[in-house]
C-alpha cells in the first residue's frame, strides 16, 4: 500500500473490520471475542507502531518514556504526532529564526536574541561550523565566539527552544560550507559528503567531541534543543543513502533514540528523493523560494514522512538573500515577505526565518559560490546582513521587522516583550592613515621562518597547512633579452605577480600584473634590465572557498605547474601568511617610528631605501588611530573605505574582514562596540591594490552598499 493510501484509509489507528463483530448471544462467546479483540488490536499496533491517531486534538499518541516530570503533574517532552509538533503535551507551532553565534561577537549574543524575542520568535536555529571548532586537525576551540554551550544556555535563559544544525556540512555562505580546510590537504583525497570511510572516521571524531557537549542541552534532558539536523540540503548534492544512514546511527549513538532528527531539502520531488532518509525515523522538513505557494510543497513533504508525522515546516523561510562582491545588494520587499509568512502560519504551519539576524563574516570565513563552471567564481561579502529584519548592527527600526512582527503576533501564544531601541552608533571622524610597512618588507615577521616551505613545484595552501589568508610563492629564473611569458594554468584565486633583480642593490619590485580565477590570462614579464637572475614573487589571496555545489573541492593557492615560456619553472619557496603574527608587526619600533628605514629580511638580501622603491600596486600596511574620550562614548561604528582598492582591516587586532569598494557593493565594514575601547584605538589595513589618494579612512554611523563602479572586474 502506498504512503498516500495508508494515510487516508484509516483515521483512527485501528482496523474498522474488528469493531463490527460484538453482538453474540452467549456470554462465553462475548468474553472470547473480547479477548480476541485485545489480541488483534495489539497485533495490529505492532505492525504499525509509528501510526498515530489523526483525529485527536489534545495530546498525540506517541511514546512518552523519555519525558521528564515537570513537577506539576505534567511531563516534559517535545514530540511529533497528528501532523503537529507537541511540547509538554500541548500542540506547538514553531515560529523560529536563524541566529548564528559565530557571526556575532559574544558580548552581543544576548542583545541579538532579545531582539529576536521582540520579533515574536519562540525558537532559534543555528548551524555549527566544524572549521571554527577544529581549525587544525585535533585542535579544538570552544571559547569566545566558539563557545556554543554558552550560546545555547543563553537561548534557554531567554526562553527559546533551539533547532541545532551540526552538519557536518552546513553551506551557510561560510568558507567550504563549514568543513575544515585541512580536509582538502589529506592524501589520498577525501570524498566529502559521502560514505568514504576515511571521511566518516573524521566525522566520528568531530561529533564524538561535539555531541557529548550537546547531550545535557537536549530538551528531554532539561535543555533547549528540540531537534537536530542531519547534513544540510543533501538532496541538492548527491544520493548516498549509506552516508546519511551512517550519520543517523552516529547521532543516535551519542544522543539516544528519543531525540528528533531532521533533514532540510528543497521542496521538489527530485531533492526530497535524494535528501530524505526513509526508514530511519528522521523528520523531513522543506525549504523553498519565498512567495511560492507553500501548501502543495507541504503536501509533497507528507510523502516523505511517516503518516501523521509531517507537521508542515519551512526550516528556511528566506527573509532576504545573500550578496556577492560585484553584485547589487540583495533586497526583498517587507510586505511581500510578511504576506508569504502569513500564508504558512495562518494554517498552522511552522516556519524558521532564514535569517532573523544575519550578522557578519568576520575574518576570513566568508564563502563563495560558482556559476556554470568553477571559473565563474562569486565570493560573498563580509557583511551577512541578508536584508534580515534584525540588521547587521542589530537595528530593528525598519519596515521588514515591523511587518513580520505584525504577522507573528497574530499566531504567537506568548506576548512579545517591548521592542528594544536601536543600539547607539557613533562617528569618530576621519582617520589619517600612514604607511608603516611594505608587505614584502616584513615577510619574516608575518611568517615564522620555520613555517616556510621549499619544494620543486608550488603546493596548495591546504597542502602546507595554510587554511586562510595569503600565500607568497617565490622563485628565480634567468632573464631573456626579450622578456618572458608567464602562465599559471590554475591559480585560485587572485595572484599578484612582481619581479626584482636578485642582485640589484635597491631591491626594487616591479608589478607585472594579476592572474585571476575568472580571467586566467598569461602575463608578459620584461627582463627588467637584470644582469643576474630575476626573482619572481606571486602573492595569492584566498577570498573564500566555495560552500555550495559540485565545485566544493576548492583548494587555494597555485594548483598547477608554473610555466615560463612554456617550460616548467622549478624551485619554490612558499610563505604562508595568516596574520596571526600581526601584533609582532606593530611592535617593531623601526617600522612604527621610521617608515623610510625598513629592515628587509633575507628574502630580499638588500634594504629597500624608501617606499618609492615599491610600485603603488605592491601590498602595503597602513595604520591609523582614533581616541574615545570616555567609556560611555564607546559605540558601534562603521569604517568607510571609499576611495581605497581592496584589502583587509583590523581594529585593535580584531580582523573585521575584507573590503573591496572598487568592486562593491559594500563600502563600509561594521565595527561592533566590544571591539573598541576607551582611549586609543588602532586601525591597521593591508591595501592590496591602490590606496585612497588622501590616505583617509572615515568612521561613520551607517552601512553603505553603493560602491562598485568597476563591477565588471569579477
Predicted confidence (pLDDT) per residue in 239-255, tens digit: 999 999 999 999 999 99
Determine the Cα–Cα distance for residues 573 and 562; give it in Å rounded to an integer: 13
pTM recorded for the entire structure: 0.88
Q: What are the grid coordinates assigned to 577, written together?
A: 601568511
Residue 25, pLDDT score: 39
- Which residues, 6+ apart, have CB-to-CB distance to 110 below 8 Å? 154, 158
Residue 28, pLDDT score: 43
Determine the Cα–Cα distance for residues 669 and 390; give it in Å rounded to an integer: 17
Q: Would you please indicate which residues are annotated as catalytic (active-site) residues?
A: 233, 316
Strand partners, 496: 514, 539
β-pairing, 567-568 vs 434-438, is unpaired
Q: How far is CA 490 from CA 190, 516, 559, 667, in A?
A: 21, 9, 5, 30
CB distance 247 to 230 below 8 Å: yes
Residue 73, pLDDT score: 52
DSSP 597-637: -BPPPTTTSS-B--GGGB-TTS-EEEEEEEEE-SGGG--BE
Q: What are the grid coordinates assigned to 70, written together?
A: 515537570
Q: What are the grid coordinates assigned to 224, written together?
A: 533547549
Q: pLDDT by residue (tens digit) across 132-159?
A: 999 999 999 999 999 999 999 999 999 9
CB distance 603 to 444 below 8 Å: yes
End-to-end CA distance of the chain: 54
Helix, strand, coil percentages, rounded to 5, for the chain: 25, 25, 45
Number of helices (H), then strands (E), in the chain: 14, 36
- Indicate the angle between helix axes 399-411 and 109-119, nearest 10 degrees: 60
Q: What are the grid coordinates assigned to 209, written together?
A: 567531541
Q: What are the grid coordinates assigned to 183, written together?
A: 580536509
Q: How far does CA 616 lie from the centroid of its chain? A: 34
Closest Cα partner for 221 from 337, 361, 94, 69? 69
Count the neighbouring beta carbons within 10 Å of the beta carbon of residue 512: 21
Closest Cα partner for 601 from 474, 445, 437, 472? 445
Determine the Cα–Cα distance for residues 423 and 75; give it in Å rounded to an integer: 40
User: For the CA atoms of the chain, what is the radius of gyration?
Assistant: 29
CB distance 294 to 344 below 8 Å: yes
pLDDT block averages, 10 residues each, the chain of length 714 = 32 32 38 43 38 34 41 78 97 98 98 97 98 98 98 98 98 98 97 98 98 98 98 98 98 97 98 97 98 98 98 98 97 98 98 98 97 89 98 97 97 85 95 95 90 97 95 96 90 86 74 82 88 93 95 94 96 94 66 38 41 63 97 98 97 97 97 98 96 97 89 52
Determine the Cα–Cα distance for residues 165 and 7; give it in Å rounded to an integer: 30
Closest Cα partner for 635 from 390, 383, 422, 389? 422
Residue 507, pLDDT score: 57
Determine the Cα–Cα distance for residues 132 and 145; give it in Å rounded to an integer: 9
The secondary structure element, H or E, covering residue 202 is helix 197-214
DSSP character at residue 80: E
Edge-to-edge strands, sheet with 429-432: 429-432, 696-700, 637-640, 668-671
DSSP character at residue 366: B
Q: How far does CA 40 lie from the centroid of its chain? A: 53
The secondary structure element, H or E, covering residue 377 is strand 377-379
CB distance 435 to 611 below 8 Å: yes
Amino acid at each position: 500500500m502506498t504512503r498516500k493510501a495508508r494515510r487516508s484509509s484509516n483515521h483512527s489507528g485501528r482496523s474498522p473490520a474488528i469493531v463490527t463483530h460484538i453482538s453474540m448471544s452467549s456470554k462465553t462467546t462475548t468474553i472470547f471475542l473480547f479477548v480476541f479483540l485485545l489480541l488483534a488490536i495489539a497485533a495490529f499496533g505492532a505492525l504499525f507502531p509509528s501510526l498515530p491517531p489523526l483525529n485527536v486534538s489534545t495530546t498525540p499518541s506517541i511514546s512518552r518514556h523519555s519525558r521528564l516530570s515537570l513537577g506539576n503533574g505534567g511531563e516534559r517532552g517535545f514530540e511529533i504526532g497528528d501532523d503537529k509538533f507537541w511540547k509538554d503535551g500541548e500542540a506547538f507551532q514553531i515560529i523560529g529564526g536563524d541566529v548564528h553565534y559565530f557571526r556575532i561577537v559574544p558580548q552581543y549574543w544576548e542583545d541579538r536574541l532579545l531582539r529576536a524575542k521582540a520579533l515574536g520568535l519562540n525558537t532559534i536555529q543555528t548551524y555549527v561550523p566544524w572549521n571554527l571548532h577544529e581549525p587544525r586537525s585535533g585542535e579544538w576551540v570552544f571559547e569566545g565566539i566558539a563557545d556554543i554551550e554558552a550560546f545555547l544556555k543563553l537561548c534557554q535563559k531567554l526562553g527559546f527552544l533551539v533547532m541545532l544544525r551540526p552538519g557536518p556540512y552546513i553551506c551557510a555562505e561560510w568558507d567550504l560550507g563549514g568543513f575544515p580546510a585541512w580536509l582538502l590537504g589529506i592524501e589520498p583525497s577525501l570524498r566529502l559528503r559521502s560514505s568514504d570511510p576515511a571521511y566518516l572516521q573524521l566525522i566520528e571524531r568531530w561529533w564524538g567531541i561535539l555531541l557529548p557537549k550537546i547531550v545535557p542541552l537536549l530538551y528531554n534532558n532539561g535543555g533547549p534543543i528540540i531537534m537536530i539536523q542531519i547534513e544540510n540540503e543533501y538532496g541538492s548534492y548527491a544520493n548516498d543513502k549509506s552516508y546519511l544512514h551512517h550519520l543517523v546511527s552516529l547521532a543516535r549513538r551519542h544522543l539516544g533514540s528519543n531525540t528528533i532528527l531532521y533533514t532540510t531539502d528543497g521542496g521538489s520531488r527530485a531533492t526530497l528523493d535524494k535528501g530524505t532518509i526513509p526508514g530511519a525515523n528522521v523528520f523531513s522538513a522543506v525549504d523553498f523560494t519565498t512567495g511560492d505557494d507553500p501548501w502543495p510543497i507541504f503536501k509533497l513533504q507528507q510523502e516523505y514522512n511517516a503518516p501523521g508525522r509531517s507537521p508542515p515546516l519551512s526550516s528556511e523561510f528566506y527573509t532576504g538573500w545573500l550578496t556577492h562582491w560585484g553584485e547589487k545588494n540583495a533586497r526583498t520587499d517587507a510586505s511581500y515577505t510578511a504576506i508569504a509568512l502569513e500564508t504558512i502560519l495562518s494554517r498552522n504551519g511552522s516556519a524558521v526565518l532564514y535569517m532573523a539576524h544575519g550578522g557578519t563574516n568576520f575574518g576570513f570565513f566568508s564563502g563563495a559560490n560558482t556559476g556554470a563552471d568553477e571559473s565563474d567564481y562569486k565570493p560573498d561579502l563580509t557583511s551577512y546582513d541578508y536584508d534580515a529584519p534584525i540588521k547587521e548592527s542589530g537595528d530593528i527600526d525598519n519596515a521588514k521587522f515591523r511587518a513580520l512582527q505584525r504577522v507573528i503576533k497574530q499566531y504567537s501564544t506568548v506576548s512579545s516583550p517591548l521592542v528594544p531601541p536601536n543600539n547607539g552608533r557613533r562617528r569618530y571622524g576621519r582617520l589619517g592613515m600612514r604607511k608603516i610597512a611594505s608587505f614584502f618588507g616584513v615577510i619574516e615577521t608575518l611568517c615564522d621562518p620555520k613555517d616556510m616551505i621549499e619544494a620543486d613545484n608550488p603546493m596548495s595552501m591546504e597542502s602546507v597547512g595554510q587554511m586562510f589568508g595569503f600565500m607568497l610563492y617565490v622563485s628565480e629564473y634567468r632573464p631573456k633579452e626579450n622578456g618572458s611569458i608567464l602562465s599559471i594554468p590554475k591559480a585560485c584565486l587572485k595572484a599578484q605577480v612582481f619581479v626584482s633583480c636578485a642582485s640589484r642593490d635597491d631591491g626594487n619590485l616591479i608589478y607585472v600584473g594579476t592572474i585571476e580565477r575568472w580571467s586566467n590570462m598569461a602575463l608578459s614579464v620584461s627582463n627588467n634590465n637584470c644582469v643576474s637572475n630575476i626573482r619572481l614573487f606571486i602573492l595569492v589571496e584566498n577570498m573564500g572557498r566555495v560552500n555550495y555545489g559540485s565545485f566544493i573541492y576548492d583548494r587555494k593557492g597555485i594548483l598547477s605547474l608554473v610555466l615560463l615560456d612554456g617550460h616548467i619553472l622549478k624551485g619554490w619557496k612558499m610563505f604562508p601568511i595568516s596574520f596571526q603574527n600581526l601584533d609582532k608587526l606593530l611592535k617593531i619600533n623601526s617600522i612604527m617610528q621610521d617608515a623610510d628605514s625598513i629592515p628587509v629580511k633575507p628574502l630580499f638580501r638588500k634594504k629597500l631605501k624608501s617606499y618609492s622603491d615599491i610600485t603603488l600596486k605592491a601590498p602595503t600596511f597602513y595604520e591609523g588611530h582614533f581616541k574615545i574620550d570616555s567609556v560611555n562614548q564607546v559605540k558601534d561604528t562603521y569604517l568607510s573605505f571609499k576611495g581605497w582598492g581592496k584589502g583587509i582591516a583590523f581594529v585593535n587586532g580584531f580582523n573585521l574582514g575584507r573590503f573591496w569598494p572598487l568592486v562593491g557593493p559594500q563600502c563600509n565594514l561594521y565595527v561592533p562596540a566590544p571591539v573598541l575601547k576607551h582611549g586609543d584605538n588602532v586601525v591597521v589595513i593591508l591595501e592590496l591594490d591602490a590606496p585612497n589618494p588622501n590616505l583617509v579612512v572615515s568612521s561613520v554611523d551607517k552601512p553603505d552598499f553603493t560602491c562598485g563602479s568597476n563591477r565588471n572586474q569579477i
